[in-house]
Amino acid sequence: MNTSTYIGLGLALLGSNLCLLLLLLNGLSWINFLHMDLTPIENFAESIELSPEGFQIYFQSAAVGWLISMAIFSKHGGPKLEAGTEEADKKNKRSLHHIAFPVIAILATLALPHILESHQHRHPIIRRSVVLDSSSKTNIAIKEGSHATSAQDAGDSNVKSTTENVQQELVFSVEKMTCGGCGSHVRNLAEADLAMQQKKLPADTGVTIDKVQVDWRAGVMSVHGMNVVDYVDQQAVAAVLEKDGYPTSFLYSQ
């Protein structure tokens, strides 16, 4: 790949809020292959999405402009060879291969957040890698939490759910975290246990895990989500972390 291709891929990556990069890094971190603090990269991706300057749309427009320029170059660029000759056929195939890969890669990178958005509840890695504004996250959480209740109520219009979706936070104290990589590992352990807990709960409880934040310097972990105070087993989360060498205690909820 030439320099122009790297520029196009870089623009597409920024235009997609680093979704592909976060997906790769979070996947490596999840299997404990990568020991690093991913919070700065995640914060940077969020700043692209939520910036009042609208940086994301600029990057997306630049990536689309790159695609258009590549299409024009492929049609009019390069020396002209007589059609039908063996040399011309080989050159045209090489040109097609050189252009097709970066174009497909850039389109796939730009589309990836939109593809993963509806699947972010399936795994914490996807949820971390897709950057959404707070209103979108709340709408998705409410939709997921009330899906089963709506299906049940369809058969009986007199039945109403008594579960109210409330955004809540659980705060834990976690000891023996010495670096950002430890914080990332603690978050992986907590999210894996929380995902298992969520699968065992009835869908009409409305429980969702929106975000797990770890501040390794302060020794604090926060779990944000819908109805987490009443339905998440704090002792189970603490036990998972303690088993891996991180003494944990529940502090408070809000």
The CATH number of the domain holding residue 224 is 3.30.70.100
- Specify if 27 maps to a domain: yes
Residue 140: which of 132, 152, 149 has the closest Cα?
132
Write out pLDDT tens, residues 154-209: 444 343 344 567 889 999 999 999 999 999 999 999 999 999 999 898 888 888 89
Regarding whether 113 and 11 lie in a shared domain, the answer is: yes
Regarding whether 201 and 110 lie in a shared domain, the answer is: no
Distance between CA atoms of residues 121 and 171, nearest Å: 22
Regarding whether 124 and 10 lie in a shared domain, the answer is: yes
Distance between CA atoms of residues 168 and 206, nearest Å: 12
- Specify if 153 maps to a domain: no
Give strand pairing partners of 214: 221
- Specify if 135 maps to a domain: no
Regarding whether 187 and 70 lie in a shared domain, the answer is: no
Going by C-beta distance under 8 Å and a sequence separation of 6 or more, which residues neighbour residue 144?
121, 208
Q: Which two tokens stand for residue 4?
A: 């122009």
Burial of 250 (0-12, 13-18, 19+ CB in 10 A): middle
Give strand pairing partners of 211: 224
- Specify if 144 maps to a domain: no
Domain closes at, from 105, 129, 153: 129
Domain closes at, from 114, 129, 144: 129
- Specify if 148 maps to a domain: no
pLDDT < 70 stretches in the chain: 1, 74-98, 132-164
Regarding whether 110 and 67 lie in a shared domain, the answer is: yes
Write out pLDDT tens, residues 19-38: 999 999 999 999 989 999 99
* Domain extent for 116: 3-129
pLDDT at 83: 52
Q: How many domains does the chain have?
A: 2
- Residue 86 · residue 53 · CB < 8 Å: no
Residue 38: which of 53, 27, 51 has the closest Cα?
27
- Specify if 155 maps to a domain: no
> b or e along 29-61 (b: 16 or more beta carbons within 10 Å of the residue's beta carbon)?
bbeeebebbbbeebeebeebbeeeeebbeebbe
pLDDT at 160: 39
